[in-house]
Amino acid sequence: MSQDKEPRRRFLRQVLAIVPAASTLGGATAVAVSQPAIADSSEPGKPRAYTPTYFNAAEWAFINAAVDHLIPSDQYGAGALETGVPEFIDRQMETPYGAGKLWYMQGPFHPDSVPELGYQLSLVPRDIYRQGIAACNDWCVKNLGKVFAELDRAKQLDVLKQMEGGKIHFETVPAKTFFNFMLGNTKEGYFADPMYGGNQKMGGWKMVGFPGARADYLDWVDQYNVKYPYGPVSILGEKG
């Protein structure tokens, strides 16, 4: 490590005990990392235990079943269930975002304006989920005999595809809008910092190869076409 970089390193270490990027290739310097702030009692491949606050039992079953299709666990890496995406979505419902407080929500509403002019419904995320799940379950019972979560996987997949394509019609909320919200939040939960409840054990970050909150690459910018060797760290100091 060259002399002039030393003070920067010291600065960073003081701010957070983060693993510094080694200045030489492959020379990983082992530095102690602060312990994860969230106690981790989960089994491998499973999210930690969580009781939803916003969603009721039926809604929770729906969310769990749906996100498993959106980001399944597979050869590419962890899935939405094992990374705690349902917990993330439930916790988001309790934020200003969930209550629609980040958006301009004064009427009149013109829901039929062209999509390019953006979201124009009067529904906030909490309503979209509540109404969307109820409507989808009703539709499933009526057409397939069971609520969504109890259908077999092939049927669930088909229902999700029809929602995404706008082929199913709900009275309360457009099926496509509901689907897109759920998909958007699922990806957020998979890739956001673990402190928000999802991306547990940084499974989402590992899937793509993102080092999380390291955010310090001066030593790496001119190392061309070389694999970055360090796993992710989270904002609370967890090491993946």
Partner 1 sequence: MAIKKDKVDVVMVGLGWTGAIMGMELTEAGLNVLALERGDMRDTNTDTPYPKAVDELKYSVRGALFQDLSRETVTIRYGVADVAVPYRQHGSFLLGDGVGGAGFHWNGMMYRNLPEELEMRSHHEQKYGKKFIPEDMTIQDHGVTYKELEPFYDFSEKVMAVSGKAGNLNGKIVAGGNPLEGARSDEFPTKPLTYQYSASLVEKAMRDVGYHPYPAPAANASEPYTNPYGVRIGPCNYCGFCENYGCYMYSKASPQTTILPVLLKRKNFEVRTKAQVIKVNLDASGKRATGVTYIDAQGREVEQPADLVLLTAFQTHNVRLLLLSGIGKPYDPVTGEGVVGKNFAYQYNGGINVVMPKGTQFNPFIGTGAGGVGMDDLNADQFDHGPLGFIGGASIRHVRYGGRPIKQAGTMPGEKVPNWGSEWKGSVQDAYQRTLTIGISGSVMAYRDCYLSLDPTYKDANGQPLLRMTLNWKENEGKMLTHIGNEMEKVGQAMNPEKVVKAIRKTGSSWDTRVYQSTHLTGGAIMGTTPKNSVVNKYLQSWDVPNVFVYGASAFPQNMGYNPTGLVTALAYHSAKAIREQYLKNPGPLVQA
Which residues make up the interface to partner 1 (CB under 8 A)?
8, 12, 15-16, 18, 69-72, 74-77, 95, 97, 101-106, 108, 110, 113-120, 164, 183, 186-188, 191-193, 196, 204-205, 207-211, 213-218, 220-222, 224-228, 235
Give alpha helix (H) positions in the chain.
6-15, 57-70, 85-93, 125-144, 153-164, 175-191, 203-208
What is 62-86 written as a DSSP string? Answer: HHHHHHHHHS--BTTB--TTTTTHH
Find out whether the peptide bond into 108 is cis, omega within 30 degrees of 0. Answer: yes
Shortest distance, CB of residue 37 to partner 1, whole angstroms? 12
Shortest distance, CB of residue 160 to partner 1, whole angstroms? 8
Shortest distance, CB of residue 22 to partner 1, whole angstroms? 14
Instruction: Give the residue carrying structure tokens 């970050």.
Output: 205
CA distances from residue 151 to 60, 82, 157, 159, 183 in whole angstroms, order as listed: 15, 21, 10, 10, 20
Shortest distance, CB of residue 154 to partner 1, whole angstroms? 13
In sequence order, what are the beta bridge partners of 77?
74
* Residue among 24 and 113 whose Cβ is closer to partner 1: 113
* Residue among 9 and 130 whose Cβ is closer to partner 1: 9
* Residue among 56 and 95 whose Cβ is closer to partner 1: 95
* Residue among 138 and 183 whose Cβ is closer to partner 1: 183
